[in-house]
Amino acid sequence: MAQIGLWRINLFLLLILSFFIFSCEDDKKKEKQQTTETEKPVKTTFIPLEKPDFSEDSAYLYVQQQVDFGPRFPNNEAHGKCAIFLKNKLASFGFSTQIQEGKATTFNNKNITIKNIIGTYNPTATKRILLFAHWDTRPFADHDDKDRTKPILGANDGASGVGILLEVARQINITQPEIGIDIIFFDAEDYGQPSSLMSPSSAETWCLGSQYWARNPHIPGYKADFGILLDMVGGPNPQFTKESISMRYAPNIVRKVWDVAKRLGHQHVFVDKETYFVGTDDHQYVNEIANIPSIDIIHFEESTGSFHQSWHTHDDNMDIINKSTLKIVGETVLGVIYNEK
């Protein structure tokens, strides 16, 4: 009898225990449901954008035409010829144009004449966007294994951004948006001190054209609502990350541009990642000296923590220029312009 009693008590305890275990499981499930409920992403309105007309063939041609001049760095003959070509091209799209000239000294004590090429569309509009790219090319191939002292063609590093902006200018002339657009092709971005030199590398030896313009704007007190820089925007397998100088000075513009890219279906190229790169670019001085919130669309590879492998080498030629990259960037820039009221 006593044994049966004990057995009954054990069974009773087991029942109570299993009841507790099951009810705990239940609580966990509820908890889980609740967490997933609150973790649901906040619904944002996603409105796809109609793709603006942008001819990648025209943009490609404009890149080719610059490269055909040969290396284009301050004081060389091709540089002078290409400056006139770019000014005339912008003028042919209905922009009023000028070449801003200035004197500067390079890291290796060369006296150079800077030529910033400036185009204006709709000069009386108060709402303005500044679009810029550097048009000069590096006078040496300091990242190549051979012929390091010879100048590079700069199809990607230089010509690509300019080629896209020329096609953007052509489209603006067709669609005639109401806002004002200023396009500046900055000179002497790429005459900076090689990092291999033992002397302390100095950021200010780069971007001489944009520094000059930021201190001497073509119109005294010139202002734009925001600026977009294109740098190395024609290479293969592009990755445009949210670069740190842009994020420091103009995070809202980064969001605006990346949002337009996403709405155009280009979110795989305009990746939602913030990256840091050691160095500088023209938008730094447009931000810090001209006080115009500006961002850089620049191909930066997270995997290597550097630019495309052709960077500052003789491989930076037409072979690496990708029409689809030109189109993605061009559509995004035009999408931003058409979205501004």
CB-CB contact of 219 with 123 (8 Å): no
Residue among 58 and 205 whose Cβ is closer to ligand AHN: 205
Residues 161-190 interacting with Zn ion (rule: CB under 5 A): 190
Return the closest-CA partner of residue 217 out of 132, 305, 105: 132
CB under 5 to 8 A by kind: which of Zn ion, ligand AHN, none does 154 bind?
none
Of the candidate spans 10-18, 45-53, 273-281, 287-295, the one that interacts with ligand AHN by CB under 6 A turns out to be 273-281
Residue among 133 and 329 whose Cβ is closer to Zn ion: 133
Structure tokens at 179: 């806002």
CB under 5 to 8 A by kind: which of Zn ion, ligand AHN, none does 279 bind?
ligand AHN
Q: Nearest approach, Cβ of 203 to ligand AHN (angstroms)?
A: 7
Residue among 121 and 300 whose Cβ is closer to ligand AHN: 300
List the alpha helices (DSSP H) in 40-99. Answer: 56-67, 77-92
The crossing angle, in degrees rounded to 10, of helices 77-92 and 160-175 is 20
Please state, in angstroms and rounded to a whole number, the distance separating the CA atoms of residues 34 and 22. Answer: 18
157: contact with Zn ion by CB under 5 A: yes
Structure tokens at 278: 């050691």
157: contact with ligand AHN by CB under 6 A: yes
Q: Report the residue from 76, 222, 279, 314 that binds ligand AHN according to the rule CB under 6 A.
A: 279
105 contact partners, CB below 8 Å, separation of at least 6: 111, 112
Please state, in angstroms and rounded to a whole number, the distance separating the CA atoms of residues 49 and 263. Answer: 5
Per-residue CA distances from 306 to 22, 231, 254, 278 (Å): 55, 14, 20, 9
**Percent of the chain as helix, strand, coil, to the nearest 5:** 40, 15, 40
* Strands 180-186 and 111-121, bridge-based pairing: antiparallel
Please state, in angstroms and rounded to a whole number, the distance separating the CA atoms of residues 135 and 321. Answer: 16
Please state, in angstroms and rounded to a whole number, the distance separating the CA atoms of residues 82 and 12. Answer: 94
Residue among 195 and 339 whose Cβ is closer to ligand AHN: 195
Look at the block and give the residue holding tokens 């054209």: 209
CB under 5 to 8 A by kind: which of ligand AHN, Zn ion, none does 280 bind?
ligand AHN
Structure tokens at 29: 């499930």
CB under 5 to 8 A by kind: which of Zn ion, ligand AHN, none does 206 bind?
ligand AHN
Residue among 259 and 296 whose Cβ is closer to ligand AHN: 296
Return the closest-CA partner of residue 322 out of 227, 239, 229: 239
Please state, in angstroms and rounded to a whole number, the distance separating the CA atoms of residues 271 and 241. Answer: 5
- CA–chain centroid gap for 31, Å, is 43
281: contact with ligand AHN by CB under 6 A: yes
190: contact with ligand AHN by CB under 6 A: yes
Q: Report the residue from 120, 137, 280, 284 that binds ligand AHN according to the rule CB under 6 A.
A: 280
Helix (H, G, I), strand (E, B) or coil at 247: helix
192: contact with ligand AHN by CB under 6 A: yes
Residue among 241 and 280 whose Cβ is closer to ligand AHN: 280
Q: Report the residue from 206, 213, 249, 270 that binds ligand AHN according to the rule CB under 6 A.
A: 206
Residue among 232 and 261 whose Cβ is closer to Zn ion: 232
CB under 5 to 8 A by kind: which of ligand AHN, Zn ion, none does 282 bind?
none
Q: Nearest approach, Cβ of 92 to Zn ion (angstroms)?
A: 28
Residue among 144 and 190 whose Cβ is closer to Zn ion: 190
Residue nearest to ligand AHN (CB): 279
CB under 5 to 8 A by kind: which of Zn ion, ligand AHN, none does 56 bind?
none
Residues near ligand AHN (CB under 6 A), total: 8
Binding site for ligand AHN (CB under 6 A): 157, 190, 192, 206, 231, 279-281
